[in-house]
Every structure is written in structure tokens, then in C-alpha cells.
């Protein structure tokens, strides 16, 4: 039986530009099951990053329901949302957002709860080995290539074994070959843990690997 990790319905998001309301999302519906990958494509400015920010509990919708695991997240307070985000969601963005003053290993460990750091160090080392960076664990991001930095970001995103992985243009800053290698790792590692994944991309080759591709257009998701 399939198990819904995420169910959203009637999600709207308006921004005010001072004079008028911009209705960016106009009733978005989506269900994602454990282990499922959904690619979302759509023209620039259609609201893909806005949608991911709502799903990642980084922002709140104007209206509608966002159910993650068994929580109606729109009804939770900020503290509960932060806790749920930390436990259940991993992010990979176009920019790696690694902390410059910390090593690869520290960057991965920092993704977890501070209290877990010692127990989690071994897991972080394993993850970095899995993404091919066993020799680079103690290097800072500035000494790494773009592909290597993004591989650290993958390890960081998966460190807490999130139920849901949100990827926003994860290969956007990489050359095509490096992008393919990075996505191979994401697919492999997410597949091993049956991590549900939502992948926003403008790269149709990347999207083509997802069993389900939806297009965000006119504020709605269509198949
Ligand atoms: N905080 C904000 N305030 C006002 N407008 C915003 C804000 N965030 C995004 N937008 C607008 O919402 C639209 C969708 O943006 P975005 O979600 O970044 O699109 P995409 O990721 O599909 O390129 C754009 O027109 C953008 O300018
Ligand atoms: Mg975007």
C-alpha cells in the first residue's frame, strides 16, 4: 500500500507588490507517496521556488492545506514547524549554502540536532564516503569544485534521513556532465531510504528520469 508523505490541496499564495495582489499560486493540489519522485517544471517566475518554500515550511500559504506526514502544517506554530522541518525535510538548492568556515564534515553534522553530533559523526562520514568525498571531509567548501560542494550539500540534506527531499534546480550551477553525476547520487541515496523527492528543474533531461513530471502553469500544477 502506498503511504502519502505529503498531501496538499487548494494551496494559494499571494504576494503584495504594494499596489496589487500577485496571485502566484492559485489552487495547487499534489500527493506524494513514500519513495516517489515528482519532477516539477515550468517557466521562470511561475512560482516553483515559492511552492517549494511552502512545502519546506519556510513560508506559509495564503490558503489551502499542506499535510506532511500526519501533520496539518498550516495549523502548527513556528516552533513546531521548525522541529518538523528539521526532522522530516531535506533541502538541496541551486546554491549549495554551505558554511564557509566549516569543513565538509562539520557542514553535514550541523544539519542535525546539536545533541546528536557525536553519534551522528559516523553517519556523516559514511554519507560523505557515499558521495565520493572520503578524502575531502576536512576540507572547507572554498577548496572544492562546484560538483563537490553540491555533493556535500546532498550529504547534508540526507543526514537526518528526511521523509521528503526538496530539490530546487540542484544542477543549475553545474556543467551538464557534473549535473548528471550529482543527480545519479541523489537518485541512488534517496532510493535506498525510500525518500520521497520533489525535484524542481528546468533541465528536461533531469526531469525525464522522474516517473512523474508536472508543470506549474498559471498558478496550478498539471500533468
Ligand atoms: N517575497 C516575495 N514578494 C513578492 N513577490 C515575490 C516574492 N517571492 C516571489 N515573488 C514573485 O513570485 C513569482 C514566482 O517566483 P518564484 O517562485 O521564484 O518562481 P520560479 O521559481 O518558478 O522561477 C515571481 O514573479 C516573483 O517575483
Ligand atoms: Mg526558482
pLDDT, tens digit, for every residue of 79-111? 999 999 999 999 999 999 999 999 999 999 887
Q: How far is Cα 156 from Cα 105, in angstroms, rounded to an integer?
A: 9
The closest ligand to the CA of 169 turns out to be 2
pLDDT score for 45: 95
User: Which cell is 147 given?
Assistant: 560538483
Q: Which atom of ligand 1 is nearest to the CA of 51?
A: 17
Q: Which atom of ligand 1 is nearest to the CA of 43?
A: 22
Q: How far is CA 70 from CA 30, 33, 75, in A?
A: 15, 13, 12
pLDDT score for 187: 92
Indicate the number of domains in the chain.
1
pLDDT score for 17: 86
User: Which cell is 45 given?
Assistant: 517566475
Task: Find out whether the beta carbon of 195 lies less than 6 Å from any atom of ligand 1.
Answer: no
Residue nearest to atom 7 of ligand 1 (CA): 15
* CATH number of 112's domain: 3.40.50.300
Query: With contact defined as beta carbons under 8 Å apart, do 133 and 85 qualify?
Result: no
The closest ligand to the CA of 51 turns out to be 1
pLDDT score for 117: 57
Domain containing 43 equals 4-222
Task: Find out whether the beta carbon of 77 lies less than 6 Å from any atom of ligand 1.
Answer: no
Q: How far is Cα 112 from Cα 107, in angstroms, rounded to an integer?
A: 10
pLDDT score for 120: 82
Classify residue 124 as exposed, middle or buried by CB count within 10 Å of its CB (0-12, 13-18, 19+): buried
End-to-end Cα spacing for the chain: 23
Q: Which atom of ligand 1 is nearest to the CA of 53?
A: 17
pLDDT score for 220: 98
Q: How far is Cα 2 from Cα 19, in angstroms, rounded to an integer?
A: 45
Mean pLDDT per block of 10 residues along the chain (223 residues) reads 90 93 97 96 96 97 97 97 94 94 93 64 92 96 95 94 96 90 92 95 89 97 93
Task: Find out whether the beta carbon of 49 lies less than 6 Å from any atom of ligand 1.
Answer: yes
Residue nearest to atom 4 of ligand 1 (CA): 15
- The runs of H, that is alpha helices, within the chain are 48-55, 78-88, 104-109, 117-130, 146-158, 176-192, 204-208
Amino acid at each position: 500500500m502506498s503511504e502519502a508523505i505529503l498531501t496538499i490541496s487548494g494551496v494559494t499564495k499571494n504576494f503584495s507588490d504594494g499596489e496589487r495582489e500577485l496571485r502566484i499560486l492559485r489552487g495547487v493540489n499534489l500527493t506524494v507517496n513514500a519513495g516517489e519522485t515528482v519532477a516539477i517544471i515550468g517557466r521562470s517566475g511561475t512560482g516553483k521556488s515559492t511552492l517549494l518554500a511552502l512545502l519546506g515550511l519556510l513560508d506559509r500559504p495564503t490558503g489551502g492545506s499542506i499535510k506532511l506526514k500526519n501533520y496539518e502544517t498550516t495549523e502548527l506554530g513556528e516552533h513546531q514547524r521548525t522541529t518538523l522541518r528539521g526532522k522530516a525535510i531535506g533541502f538541496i538548492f541551486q546554491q549549495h549554502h554551505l558554511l564557509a568556515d566549516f569543513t565538509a564534515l562539520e557542514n553535514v553534522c550541523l544539519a542535525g540536532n546539536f545533541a546528536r553530533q557525536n553519534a551522528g559523526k559516523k553517519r556523516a562520514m559514511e554519507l560523505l564516503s557515499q558521495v565520493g568525498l572520503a578524502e575531502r571531509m576536512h576540507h572547507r567548501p572554498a577548496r572544492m569544485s562546484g560538483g563537490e560542494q553540491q555533493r556535500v550539500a546532498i550529504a547534508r540534506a540526507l543526514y537526518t534521513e528526511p521523509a521528503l527531499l526538496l530539490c530546487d534546480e540542484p544542477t543549475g550551477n553545474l556543467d551538464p556532465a557534473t549535473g548528471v553525476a550529482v543527480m545519479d547520487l541523489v537518485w541512488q541515496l534517496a532510493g535506498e531510504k525510500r525518500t520521497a523527492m520533489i525535484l524542481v528543474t528546468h533541465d528536461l533531461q533531469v526531469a525525464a528520469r522522474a516517473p512523474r513530471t508536472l508543470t506549474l502553469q498559471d498558478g496550478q500544477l498539471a500533468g
